[in-house]
Structure 1
């Protein structure tokens, strides 16, 4: 017998849909009443009639109701994630902490596991009540794993920002985690390390950057000055909207700030003449200074491109290492080109012309060498030799004796390297490495598990950084009294959809009075 769908049933489901929409909202203080408010009801009545308006008005939308709906969906999503991890037996962790708008420390965790292909999912958002030591972080993560029946033995990798609380020798989070499972692979976030490389400028170039930033901040930090400058460059026919304010915490802002200064150089000179800032006028009229600024804009652009290329939900060790190795080779190539007076790799510098290039050539060569040394310093082990058998399993059969295998794994590797069916699957362009090794698990379980354990670890803390942005939107100045963020953040960030039909079947349908 088919159940008759009533107005109450549709109103109940609608309230869950609204709650999900609020959790994924763009506006920081949206409520259910704002989404389906008087104006919306009037529009529905006008477009669809009185009956539709009456049904919409019966959707339960109080704050407490929406909060319960979000909590139920969060619990459902979390249970599904835990269920998938338990069925796959292997997962990698990404952990980071930050302070929210109310000054509370929030610890975020994401996991990665293989379900036909690599899947990244939100795990938890826990408030650290007092201190934020490695022991506090470990206790919070361990509590979550224990509560949901997950073992540290399932964990094959942990990625952090390498803060002292994370890597402390005696009481750091990673140190405690390694005591639970010594085989865990630990990774310092590639994005953080690349940002440290980008800060390697030397005194002279750092001074150039600081002088350009002072010019911009002199205008941008004063509303009157900013309005005057906007009026001036609009009258001069400039198409750009405005200068860009630079802040150290925004790693990728330097390139855009410097490029904007170069593009508005004439307008800036006119403004500083009118305001009588002689120091800045001399700098902008100094061709050598402008050449240095052009080079800085170009090199920051290239470093930003590298940083952005490593940002992604499922970025892995293999791809990140390959990108950093490629950047090492490019630095060497750029240096050789500059030695030949070839600056085609640096478009802004090339546009500035070769006049006076000799005065900055040695400075550029030294900086490129400093960057190469910085990559060696912050990425001391840029090698995928231990992963070559994963990337090219059918080409290394003759080297099986030299690979780090147990006897069982070596036998499976030799058998697999002769498996023509798997070779055809491996050579398909639409099959990822993770998907291939997941498919190989059935026939070659030991080798497959080893490959998955090496492929799973995160190379960046990108998901945590992305979650901090969502957290800032959810817990804003208008909502700074939220007691718990976990449910809202989980529903907002998880790629899993809650089973709303199942929720509705467990509730008694009631409409608003």
Structure 2
């Protein structure tokens, strides 16, 4: 029985590497053959082939020859610790390993196993350190992208990262976490050129995503406007609107018009962008612009050129611009009152010394407002607040003008009829301003803007009737001034309200959403289908939809927007859905472009007037789509040596 027992052999301290390896191999061989019956004669040939294909395994004793394993279970191979060479599996025997050590590295052939153990440990630590460096470099690239995105969103100079953010982070981290953490933070690339490249890459990624979404929806509306930057260069801005589960508004482009700014130039710039990105004019269902001739010119205007590409485009003149034109309707008498009030304000605001003296006087008299507001024509919303402040500070103004001996202004402020006119102007301008502000903001559409102007039109009619009855409760400042002398301005106010109504009719000739309301009310107008402007296919889909009770329940839910409902029905009623979306999508105002011009003035300021291109910075700053930073980081190779 002794031949079937494997006894554990104790290794003596003075045992040689060859004896250690032989002992390990012998033990492993005996263990592998324990309890295994001898092969029969018929299986000798198979056993011979099996032994030839058997893989050799690495044992720890091979470290005595300077070799470690490649840690591959399927194909284990010895790796030299000195030169890094990887030998074949067949070379994993003591004689071949020893021959490699003696022939290639005789200077370490006499080293003991402890020497090679230290070498293996050192290499493991070095490998771990390299992995950590690569990981730090990868996160440094991601951090660089996120800092660049933050700078673009806040519209700050690109040097902010290198001059402020980087040094500030180093100070904070070194103070709180120590020098080692600060060294890791300092590896984040934050130079001016690096941040510029990061913003450019993020801009390209955002633009590709916007174009991809437009192509998938095949319907979009445009909002286009142009303005001049601080350097005198003409910048053309464009925004788009489409439906992706709900209405989405996105920045589209910012192109510099190199020479002239005619409608032909604007069309060429917009058409170039659409062609470059594979977008067709047939996808465009609406364009909103201001009323400038270069936009709406009959022969060479941008709108005219666009309609030649797609005659079905719905064109809109910005509601905000038209409402501002309505507000300018004052008449000679009221315009004179407005100009006189503005002269009072400008006399004080244009002189710093007098402005300080007036503020001190208001403080001493305990007024809530201590200064006046300077009025400019381009900021038409300032008129209401300017006149309100003049009324509230009327006594202070009279005291100030007495000291300065401006008798003309004193007489005006003491004239009750003049004050009644001023009170009415302050009230009516505040109402006009409120209407204008209500149409500003994102996601403002044709339906809501038309309804607001229709409401204002009806209010004018109601106010006229009230004034005719000597009822001025709709005008708080005028009511506070008292009814004494109201008869002298009654006809003036009545005529001005009539002029405003006529101006609304002039600048808003078609305040009707009947066509849109019909197609967007399928469950109420099913009996009127013959009166609707439908093709045969659209009529059939309209009738099917109006009979769908499940859709009616979804349509009547308060938490489902109209755009989301239309998007959900596109699969089942594609023709009707596309027609409804074409009517719903067009912009009613150029608010997004006006907002973008403010951003442009911030980005390209007096200190940064040499910026060559604004498009990348503005796209990252104004887009609601975030760039795929993880994907962008994967395209960069980590620089672990830096």
Normalised to the residue count of structure 1, the TM-score between the two structures is: 0.97
Preserved CA contact (<8 Å) 1:92 1:458: yes
Aligned-residue offset at 1:266:
0.8
Deviation string 1:92-139 (CA, Å, 9 cap, x unpaired) is 000000000000000000000000111000000000000000000000
Deviation string 1:180-219 (CA, Å, 9 cap, x unpaired) is 0000000000000000001101111111111111111111
Separation of aligned partners in 1, 2:497 and 2:254: 41
Preserved CA contact (<8 Å) 2:159 2:191: no
Preserved CA contact (<8 Å) 1:28 1:476: no
Aligned-residue offset at 1:233:
1.2
Q: Paired residue for 2:635?
A: 506
Is the partner of 1:13 in helix, strand or coil?
A: helix
CA spacing shift, 1:30–1:330, aligned 2, 3 Å: farther
Preserved CA contact (<8 Å) 1:29 1:474: no
Deviation string 1:261-298 (CA, Å, 9 cap, x unpaired) is 11111111111110111111111111111111111111
Preserved CA contact (<8 Å) 1:74 1:490: yes
CA spacing shift, 1:350–1:5, aligned 2, 3 Å: farther
Separation of aligned partners in 2, 1:334 and 1:158: 35
Aligned-residue offset at 1:44:
2.4
Deviates more, 1:335-344 or 1:443-452: 335-344
* Alignment of 1:134 onto 2:263: yes
Aligned-residue offset at 1:168:
1.1
Preserved CA contact (<8 Å) 2:224 2:239: yes
Deviates more, 1:341-350 or 1:390-399: 390-399
Q: Please list every run of 5 or more consecutive structure 1 residues that lacks an aligned counterpart in the other structure.
A: none
Separation of aligned partners in 1, 2:186 and 2:132: 23
Preserved CA contact (<8 Å) 1:102 1:481: yes
Q: Which protein shows a greater Rg?
A: 2
Separation of aligned partners in 1, 2:495 and 2:617: 49
Preserved CA contact (<8 Å) 2:134 2:638: no
Preserved CA contact (<8 Å) 1:60 1:512: no
CA spacing shift, 1:512–1:119, aligned 2, 3 Å: farther
Deviation string 1:406-438 (CA, Å, 9 cap, x unpaired) is 111111111111111110011011111111111
CA spacing shift, 1:351–1:28, aligned 2, 3 Å: farther
Separation of aligned partners in 2, 1:463 and 1:224: 39
Is the partner of 1:169 in helix, strand or coil?
A: coil
Preserved CA contact (<8 Å) 1:11 1:511: no
Is the partner of 2:474 in helix, strand or coil?
A: coil
Deviation string 1:55-99 (CA, Å, 9 cap, x unpaired) is 222211111101000000000000000000000000000000000
Deviates more, 1:104-113 or 1:230-239: 230-239
Preserved CA contact (<8 Å) 1:28 1:475: no
Q: Paired residue for 1:310?
A: 439
Separation of aligned partners in 2, 1:274 and 1:29: 51
CA spacing shift, 1:351–1:52, aligned 2, 3 Å: farther
Aligned-residue offset at 1:26:
5.1
Q: Paired residue for 2:70?
A: none
Is the partner of 1:2 in helix, strand or coil?
A: helix
Aligned-residue offset at 1:239:
2.3
Deviation string 1:38-62 (CA, Å, 9 cap, x unpaired) is 3442122223333332222221111
Normalised to the residue count of structure 2, the TM-score between the two structures is: 0.78
CA spacing shift, 1:39–1:116, aligned 2, 3 Å: closer
Aligned-residue offset at 1:30:
5.5
Structure ranking higher on relative contact order (CA contacts 8 Å, 6+ apart)? 1
Deviates more, 1:429-438 or 1:488-497: 429-438
Aligned residues: CA RMSD: 1.7
* Alignment of 1:150 onto 2:288: no
Is the partner of 1:5 in helix, strand or coil?
A: helix
Q: Please list every run of 5 or more consecutive structure 2 residues that lacks an aligned counterpart in the other structure.
A: 1-129
- From 55, 61, 73, give the equivalent of 2:202: 73
Q: Paired residue for 1:413?
A: 542
Preserved CA contact (<8 Å) 2:133 2:640: no
Preserved CA contact (<8 Å) 1:8 1:510: yes
